[in-house]
Amino acid sequence: MSAIKVDQVAIGYSNTLIIDDLSVSIPEKKITTIIGPNGCGKSTLLKAISRVLKTKRGAVYLDGRAIHQLETKEVAKKMAILPQSANAPGGLTVFELVSYGRFPHQSGFGSLKKEDYEYIYWAIDVTGLNEFKDRPVEALSGGQRQRVWIAMALAQDTEILILDEPTTYLDLAHQLDILLLLQRLNEEEGRTIVMVLHDLNHASRFSDYMIAMKNGKLVKEGTPEEVMTCPNLQLVFNIEARIATCPFSDNPICLSYQLCQKDR
Amino acid sequence: MKEKNNKTHTQHRAKTKNLIIIGVLGLLIVVAFMISMNTGFIKLTPLEVIRTLFGLGTEKQHLILFEFRLPRIIIAVLVGMGLAVSGCVLQGISRNALADPGILGINAGAGLAVMLFISFFPSTAATPVFLLPVLAFFGAGVTAVIIYSLAYKRHEGISPMRLLLTGVAVAAGISSAMIVLTLRLSPENYQFVATWLAGSIWGSNWKFVLSLLPWILVLIPFVFSKARVLNVLNLGDLTATGLGASIEKERRILLAAAVGLAGASVSVSGGIGFVGLIGPHLARQLVGSRHQFLIPAAALTGGLLVLVADTLGRWILQPSEIPAGIVVAVIGAPYFLYLLSRLKD
């Protein structure tokens, strides 16, 4: 069963197409990671999936319905997005920012209801931000701030979470922290998670499904075992990789790599 | 469970604090009102003011209060409110702390319309004072539409940054056109236009109150009802879309409301700058960036600012007056520089 279906889409900015004729299915209640070199169109694909960018041809289907024909507020009840570089306006506390996640569920003037408070506190709790909830967001460290944005997306209470490089700019431990949190949300609550990651080993370790892209095209999709192979990595990143097995998760990992010799 | 009560308590306390701040701002306006009443050639003490308000004053007091000071004070407060809320909305939708109605060319557009009229119909300049607000409003509206359509791109819609840059460019163009036009003006007309541009509360008359009041009464509550949307737009386009806000539509509606507020205000006050910039900023320092509190606080700060500026302007060089716009600029310019220096880091 697929949560999101991308059907023969062409996506681009003004006159240039970044992705042309790409079809892919995102499985429901799984963690899916998109990998690929810089500029391959993975963020663009993510933006199309999250209806931030309109497709020029083809369509993205959410629960079998074309996403651009749905009310944006209805989509927001099913799908939360964490953009690559989110910036909070000054002076907002953690609680306040997380409370904005309730936006699609409120109507009219909408002060927070009991149910809203419950979701906000749950989101703050599950991201381990209890002691920071009354602090201004700008006073937090990068890792904490990233967790605030994730908490906001969680407060939105959606089946699907879309994250564009959620671990960028974080140190090793904090990266793992975020990914373990996402894994827990997936395993315990059955949330569908779609993200872009640059770290192949993290992608392999935490994903059920991987999508490898290059030049706006789909190169390979499947389980980490199917995607993380030497030929695929050569095709996608033009690297010669040594693949081993992760001692923690039994998934394939890239031990080391070097650039492929250019063809004469 | 007990912990949860504590948490709600903290939120509750923050809310109470903001409400108190808004109350104090309201109180300050009342104080400024009393001081303003007492400023001028004929002084009215607070007691006399209250008595006259209830119809117990002398005829002369009645005349001064109802025909001269009260409309002027009300206009000062309304203009300040309109400009500050307009600035608040523009800063919210553009995510730019330096946005204000002046940057969107609204002041310049209104000024140009007034100037064109006076330079082409110089002999009538003294009579049609009631036409000026209409002209100014028209000028502001046309300028806003021009800027909006220049900044608009198909498929991509309106980008806040492009809107601001276009606004700055168009405002600069209009200003230079105005300098050329001043050459056509007679000294008396030039004097009038210069005073108008400096932003004196010249329309101190009940008719102007009535022409401004509906805009304020309709648009400020409307903007207030959009507080949640403004909060979300403030997070950036991607996040706002993700949260389910129709950003293009909301931005257009809010922009129109901001133009309406600023245009109506400028049309009776002339080119008062800085209020739209400083009002929301001071308010943000006081109550934070949630628009549920920010909008009322900005409205009150703006109203207070213009009222104080107008009162000071009447008081400093008695019996002559300094336009409120100049007083605001004298206070505003250093604050603006201070803001810029803080934005660097």
**If interface means Cβ-Cβ distance under 8 Å, which residues of chain B face chain A?**
4, 7-8, 10-11, 14, 95, 153, 155-156, 225, 227-228, 231-232, 234-239, 241-246, 284, 288-290
pLDDT at B125: 47
CA B279, CA B292: separation in Å to the nearest integer?
A: 15
Any domain includes A264: no
A149-153, A252-256, B26-30, B312-316: the lowest-pLDDT one: B312-316
Q: Tell me whether A122 touches chain B (CB under 8 Å).
A: no
CB contacts, 8 Å: B246 with chain A? 72
Q: Which of A54, A86, A134 sits opposite B236 (nearest CB)?
A: A86
Any domain includes A186: yes
CA A201, CA A181: separation in Å to the nearest integer?
A: 17
Q: Which of A90, A103, A109 sits opposite B244 (nearest CB)?
A: A103
Dihedral angle computed from the Cα positions of residues B172, B177, B179 and B182, in that order, rounded to the nearest 10 degrees: -150
Q: Tell me whether A133 touches chain B (CB under 8 Å).
A: yes
CB contacts, 8 Å: B284 with chain A? 90-91
pLDDT at B153: 72
CB A237 within 8 A of CB A258: no
pLDDT at B88: 94
- Answer yes or no: do A88 and B243 touch at CB < 8 A: no
CA B18, CA A133: separation in Å to the nearest integer?
A: 18
Q: Roughly what angle, to the nearest 10 degrees, separates helices B206-225 and B291-315?
A: 160
Best CA proximity match to A189, nearest among A177, A181, A197: A181
The tokens describing B7, both together, are 């948490």
pLDDT at A179: 93
DSSP-based three-state secondary structure for A206: helix
Q: Work out the minimum CA distance from A5 to partner chain B, whole angstroms.
A: 18
Print pLDDT tens along chain B (345 aa). Answer: 444 445 566 667 778 888 999 999 999 999 998 888 887 777 778 888 888 878 777 888 888 777 778 888 899 999 999 999 999 998 888 887 778 887 778 888 888 887 887 777 765 545 556 677 778 788 888 888 888 888 877 656 667 778 888 888 898 898 888 888 888 777 777 777 777 777 776 666 787 888 888 889 999 999 999 999 999 988 888 889 889 988 888 988 998 899 889 888 888 887 787 888 889 988 988 888 889 999 999 999 999 999 999 888 888 877 777 888 888 888 888 887 887 777 654
Q: Tell me whether A88 touches chain B (CB under 8 Å).
A: yes
Q: Where are the domains of chain B?
A: 2-344
Q: Are β-strands A209-214 and A217-222 bridged in parallel, bridged antiparallel, or unpaired?
A: antiparallel
Higher pLDDT, residue B323 or A239? A239
Q: Over range A41-60, report the average pLDDT.
A: 89
In sequence order, the 6+-apart residues with CB closer than 8 A to the CB of B160 are B93, B94, B95, B96
Q: Work out the minimum CA distance from B57 to partner chain A, whole angstroms.
A: 44
Q: Which A residues, 164 through 223, put their C-beta within 8 Å of a C-beta on chain B?
A: none
Q: Which fold has domain B2-344?
A: ABC transporter involved in vitamin B12 uptake, BtuC (1.10.3470)
- Answer yes or no: do B244 and A76 touch at CB < 8 A: yes
In sequence order, the 6+-apart residues with CB closer than 8 A to the CB of B217 are none
CA A14, CA B334: separation in Å to the nearest integer?
A: 42
For residues A78-98, one letter each, b for 16 or more C-beta atoms within 10 angstroms of the residue's C-beta and e for the rest, the string is: bbbbbbeebebbebbbbbbbb
**Among A62, A85, A103, A195, the residue to mutate for chain B (most B Cβ within 10 A):** A103
CB contacts, 8 Å: A80 with chain B? 242
- Answer yes or no: do B10 and A101 touch at CB < 8 A: no
Q: Work out the minimum CA distance from B247 to partner chain A, whole angstroms.
A: 10
Find the closest chain A residue to B294 by CA distance.
Answer: A91
Q: Work out the minimum CA distance from B242 to partner chain A, whole angstroms.
A: 5
For residues B59-71, one letter each, b for 16 or more C-beta atoms within 10 angstroms of the residue's C-beta and e for the rest, the string is: eebeebbeeebbb
- Answer yes or no: do B238 and A106 touch at CB < 8 A: no
Q: Residue B244 phi/psi, 5° resolution?
A: 90, 25
Find the closest chain B residue to A108 by CA distance.
Answer: B225
Find the closest chain A residue to B10 by CA distance.
Answer: A134
Q: Work out the minimum CA distance from A99 to partner chain B, whole angstroms.
A: 10
- In whole numbers, what is the pLDDT of chain A averaged over residues? 88
Any domain includes A221: yes
Q: Over range A70-74, report the average pLDDT.
A: 89
- Answer yes or no: do A121 and B11 touch at CB < 8 A: no
Q: Work out the minimum CA distance from B239 to partner chain A, whole angstroms.
A: 7
Q: Which of B10, B242, B245 sits opposite A134 (nearest CB)?
A: B10
The tokens describing B6, both together, are 């504590």
Residue A151 predicted with pLDDT over 70:
yes
Domain count, chain A: 1
Tens-place pLDDT, residues A82-94: 887 777 777 788 9
Please give the residue range of the domain that contains residue A128. Answer: 2-259
Q: Work out the minimum CA distance from A189 to partner chain B, whole angstroms.
A: 21
CB contacts, 8 Å: A67 with chain B? none
> What is the CATH classification number for the domain harbouring A141?
3.40.50.300
Any domain includes A212: yes
pLDDT at B158: 66
pLDDT at A108: 67
Find the closest chain A residue to B237 by CA distance.
Answer: A52
CB contacts, 8 Å: B155 with chain A? 14, 54
Higher pLDDT, residue A124 or B13? A124
Any domain includes A249: yes
